[in-house]
Structure 1
Amino acid sequence: MASCKPITKKVINSPESCVDDNLRGVVALYPKLLLHPKHRVVTLRRKNDSGRVAVLGGGGSGHEPFAAGLIGPGMLDGAVAGGVFASPPTGNVLYAITQLYKYNSGGVLVLLGNYTGDRLNFGKAFEKAKNAGIKVEGFIVGEDVASSQNKTGGRSMCGEVFLYKLCGAMAAEGHDLLSIRNMASEVNKNMATLGVCLSACSLPGQPPLFDIAQDEMELGAGVHGEAGIEKLKMGSAKETVVLILDKIRAHLKLQSKNRVAAMINNLGGTSLLEINIIAAEIKDYLDRKQIKMERIYSGHFKTSLEMHGFQICLLDLSGERGDSWLRLLDAPSGAGAWSGCDLSVGGPGGLAEDDDLPQAGEGKITSGPTLSVQEQEILRGSLRAASIVLVENEELLNRLDSGCGDGDCGITLKKFANAVLKYLETASLEYPSNVLWELSEMAETDMGGTSGGIYSLGLSAASQALSKAESNDRSAWLSAMCSSATAISKYGGAEPGDCTMLDTLHSAAMAFKENLGDDLQTLLLKINEAAERGAKATADMIPRAGRASYVARAHSRGEDAGARALALLLRAALDMS
């Protein structure tokens, strides 16, 4: 059903080009930065090896100035951008890591948000980088109070910017990779963020993501346009700040005489008049509680497009560690969105790509069983049918995703399906392990976001399992399916019963295992029936992983979109077999 909401006006060239146009603008504003346009990577200009650790940030676009605007001496060395509210693909993350390691032999620390797509895509990039001999460590940031009870921990909010500053300052002092990562882990335990929004944001070319009444506000709204955990009546600035800080103070167990650093994050559409009033109320609140506010920072740090709202983050500086962290916060920085910046000095901004750096693709896999010409055509027909059904169900999947996600599940899967259809026109399917590997690369490059990460990891794990098989039998394909589920669970943090596509995949795999000895027609029927049950079951589940787990249950609209998509493509593929 098409939305009747009006599309929100934005000053852009087109929804398709807005991310790349934004990055061109960043290097125009800060000529000491370098844009690598094919990979949507921005780095500090360097000619020589610094010998120290580089800090890389990134994630979906739409949060500007996060993360490219926070590159500069004493903060980030580079950033990788995904689509609007979508994780960057693995290949681009790998490019960014490799590019930074080229000029920073101390290694690369990657700070990523606690979101399924980022965990999956960045996780696969870490594995590839380590296999290539690169010193890299990743740290998942998550400090959101509203989602702190989530199975995989709280979402990453503006507290990630605190870690950009602290890790960047520590790297500038010459500390080693593990020391900086350990500090990040300790800081993450001692900060908390919570916010409210008064209106929803909208993706370029789309209407607002959710509805909110004129006299209401959403408590705990996310930075990807997710609705909050509770709708409340509008209150005064003082009442709203008290509501937020009471919850943060309880979460951090702050007491009188404790010390904190505070951050006010403008979610994009809040006036400076409002922000200044909020700052005054934060100071008054902490004074009343006899909590010493050592520093307060205010600005657009990690926005949500034009969302009218704000977040407050408190970092507990109590004890001896607080003095060290405060020193790092006070260390000089030249990042554009932080206080003090020399990046605007210099000539015109530039573009660069290092095509000789390792890319996501690693060549063909020519191991494992082979398929006869007839078997190849069966596989080709199955993949074609699965792709066509994803294209045909774009609107359904977008609608299922719109209540608890950003409404693009159908869009991203359609991109993947079209890429697969083009691939099938000329591809050799002799080695099924190679077919699955190439599909995983297409998922990575053509889909992006959470869905791309899930499918890329799952297909690459299945490919590795098939490459080790001795024959093209049922056991080999069962092993591939189980390996896929294991990899997705490992990096995504979800398990069966958490209301994700794993519920469909796990049900199908269990049916495959239980009916392995049946005739082919019965086996395929049982797998399809189990996949359908798994997808339908998600309608009654409480989401415990993925983006749906971050929002109030009232915003969920039926089955999980990813679970339904997998059930659809399995039915189409297996009906052709």
Structure 2
Amino acid sequence: MSATKPITKKIINSPETCVDDNLRGVVATYPSLQLHPRHRVITVRQKTDTGRVAVLGGGGSGHEPFAAGFVGSGMLDGAVAGGVFASPPTGHVLYAIAQLYKYNTGGVLVIIGNYTGDRLNFGKAIEKAKISGIKVEGLIVGEDVASSKNKTGGRSMVGEVLFYKLAGALSLRGYELTAISDEAGEFSKYMATLGVCLSACSLPGQPPLFEIASDEMELGAGVHGEAGIEKMKMGTAKEVVGMILNQIISHLKLVGGNRVIAMVDNLGGTSVFEMNIISAEIKEQLENKNIKVERIFSGHFKTSLEMQGFQICLLNLNKEKGDLWLELLDAPTAASAWSGGLLSVRSEGEEGHGDDDTLLQAGGRKSASGPSLTLKQQELFRGSLLAAAEDLIKNEALLNKLDSGCGDGDCGITLKNFGLAIQSYLKTASVEYPSNVLWDLSEIAETDMGGTSGGIYSLGLAAASQALASAESIDVSSWMKAWDSGMHAISKYGGAEPGDRTMLDTLHSASKTFRHNLNTDLRVLFKKTVDASEEGAKATAKMVARAGRASYVSPQYVQDEDAGARAAALWLKAMLTHIGEHA
């Protein structure tokens, strides 16, 4: 006997009230819209007759922003909502038609999703409205490739939203009811949609509708959790997009030289990050086939609650009507959920994308800066840097372990990369001018380390470099000034101070001791400084983190030394020990 599936967590008040609560939220967010609560209808606020054709959409809830999110000048004049994944009843549809006709005597075009419940309930409402003298026409929309061989045609997918945009723009241009219906009917012949889902959705108060393995996806799944045409193994974005495009291209009989509109619909649980990758693949793969992508509209259009997946809809802009359709889709709209706009428009003769590599060239050091080192000093400096690099590489595992409790466990990897980059740099680099060396190391930290650690080290080293560049000579006080400048920069931009459980605790403890012992023997100075750095790193184990990644984590997970503080103690000890032994 199988265990009962757990109910999916959702932030609702109750399954019984969630549809109405959702509609209240739409008009709370967009008070320019009007809610007719007993009939679950949302319309634009209208007080006088426009004389034009109104466009009505709708269907089951759970597909938000569809359809209420597309109510606004230039798209829908009204939308009627059913229960979750259920068609609205005839009475509610009839109310919406009558409400729109009251202020739009040009008539009402009702766009109907190609689902049995919608066809029946919307159809009956249209016939009742006609009997009562309302000028109304219905248009059934269905463009799904996966179900296209059904007797009633393909299911309605995200392409329905393109119909809203086309019909709404035609209405604003003053087209009559029959003309809009005819144009939209022609439009539908050149459109096709296919998608995949990676995980199931769940109705409020219910467990997931179906199961799908973690390494599988369902090709051609419907927006109500209906099964697709086959289960497939997961692939890369390139592979999945390519497979979908090939089927749509075949269905629409697209060839090189065609122009298309692409619509990418987030089924609810797909990140914007992934959606952008999908859009990039669509453009690249179509244009590799010499099919010009005039527009890409991407976003949440017709979702399936929290289902993870996406749909791609292509519209073939044919020679006869393509330019008109493009104009209509580009036309302004006040609808909140339409993602198109000025930035969507592709300009003729636009240049490709690329970087201007000349911009940052002035930021590099073109000549020696600051005082220089003698040959003996250069040898000591190079050796100390190599010793520091070796210790960072050698202690990768330790630093990763210290970082795993309060960070993402990569401190050792990051600093090992820095150490390897330093070793590579020192194979050919001159160390005659320490200011330039520190500047180069700051650039290496930025490019080879990356992340927060790279930023911190880059800032500190750059500030230390600037301090040495203005020094009159290279002596202990000059290095002390550089040290202070580096710590100040880290504190200023990183937001941390000594006592906050960061690398500054090591650096501050060591610099304080270094300053107090400047007049002692060099080896004694270095020994005391190393001991102080060790104490500073160990002290972080008992500190409450007030800055850095550890400050976001519960103190129960932060019970060992700070990884950054320990790393600073390691390279300080390596450098000072080497200089002390070889000076």
Report which of the two structures shows the higher radius of gyration computed on alpha carbons: 2
Q: Distance in 1 between matches of 2:325 and 2:223?
A: 26
Cα distance in 2 for partners of 1:340, 1:313 equals: 15
Alignment of 1:470-549 (within 5 A): none
User: CA contact under 8 A between 1:256 and 1:291: conserved in structure 2?
Assistant: yes
Offset, 1:226: 1.2
Q: Which residue of 2 aligns with 1:27?
A: 27
Q: What CA RMSD, in Å, does the superposition of the two structures yield over aligned residues?
A: 1.2
Aligned to 2:248: 248
Give the distance between the partners of 1:337 and 1:2, measured in 2 at CA: 42
- Within the alignment, does 1:281 sit opposite 2:281 as a pair? yes
Which residue pairs with 1:121 in the alignment?
121
The answer to whether the Cα contact below 8 Å between 1:333 and 1:339 also exists between their aligned partners in 2 is no
Q: Contact 1:209/1:226 (CA < 8 Å) preserved in 2?
A: no
User: Deviation at 1:86?
Assistant: 0.1
Alpha-carbon distance between aligned partners in 2 of 1:141 and 1:47, rounded to the nearest angstrom: 30
Asked whether 1:18 is paired with 2:18, we answer yes
Q: Indicate the residue corresponding to 2:294 in structure 1.
A: 294
1:190-209 map, 5 Å: 190-209=190-209
- Opposite residue 149 of structure 1, the aligned amino acid is K
Deviation at 1:227, TM superposition (A): 2.1
Alpha-carbon shift at residue 339 of structure 1 (Å): 3.7
Equivalent in the alignment of 2:435: none
Question: Is there any run of 5+ residues in structure 2 with no aligned partner, and where?
Answer: 342-583
Tell me the equivalent position of 2:305: 305
1:453-490 CA distance string (max 9 Å, x none): xxxxxxxxxxxxxxxxxxxxxxxxxxxxxxxxxxxxxx
- Alignment-mate amino acid for residue 67 of structure 2: A
* Superimposed CA distance per residue, residues 61-93 of structure 1 (whole angstroms, 9 cap, x where no aligned partner): 000000001000100000000000000000000
The amino acid of 1:61's aligned partner reads S
SS at match of 1:320: coil
| Equivalent-residue separation in structure 1 for 2:320 and 2:184 (angstroms) | 16
Indicate conservation of the 8 Å contact 1:334/1:340, yes or no.
no
Structure 1 residue aligned with 2:364: none
Matching residue of 2:433? none
Q: Distance in 2 between matches of 1:320 and 1:133?
A: 36
Distance 1:259 1:19, change over 3 A: same
**Residue deviations 1:21-76, cap 9 Å, x none?**
00000001111100000000000000000000000000000000000010001000
Q: Report SS of the residue matched to 2:321.
A: helix
CA contact (8 A) 2:58 2:80 kept: yes
Structure 2 equivalent of residue 263 of structure 1: 263
Give the 5 Å matches for 1:400-419. none
TM-score, with normalisation over the residues of structure 1? Answer: 0.58
Give yes or no for contact 2:299–2:339 (8 Å, CA) kept in 1: no
Structure 1 distance, partners of 2:218, 2:3, is 22
Equivalent residue number for residue 502 of structure 2: none
Cα distance in 1 for partners of 2:320, 2:89 equals 40
Query: Is the 8 Å Cα contact of residues 298 and 339 (structure 2) preserved in structure 1?
Result: no
Moved over 4 A (4+): none
Q: Per-residue deviation at 1:229?
A: 1.4
Aligned to 1:215: 215
What amino acid maps onto 1:186 in structure 2?
E
Report what 2:78 is aligned to: 78
Equivalent position amino acid for 2:190 in 1:
N
CA distance in structure 1 between the aligned counterparts of 2:166 and 2:20, rounded to whole angstroms: 28
* 2:479 corresponding residue in structure 1: none
Where do 1:232-243 residues align within 5 Å? 232-243=232-243
SS at structure 2 position matched to 1:182: helix
CA–CA separation in structure 1 for the residues paired with 2:231 and 2:180? 39
Q: Which amino acid aligns with 1:108?
A: V
5+ long unaligned stretches in structure 1? 342-577
Matching residue of 1:131: 131
Separation of aligned partners in 2, 1:340 and 1:33: 20
Distance 2:39 2:138 in 1: 19
Residue of structure 2 in register with 1:181 after alignment: 181
Letter in 1 for 2:291: I
CA drift of 1:187 comes to: 1.0
How many residues were matched structurally?
Answer: 341
TM-score by length of 2: 0.58
The Cα of 1:127 is off from its aligned counterpart by 1.1
Structure 2 partner of 1:58: 58
Q: Report the Cα offset of residue 290 of structure 1.
A: 0.2
Deviation at 1:340, TM superposition (A): 7.3
Shift of 1:184: 1.0
Aligned counterparts of 1:228 and 1:108: Cα–Cα separation in 2: 34
Whole-angstrom distance in 1 between the partners of 2:91 and 2:69: 22
> Structure 1 residue 3: deviation in Å?
7.1
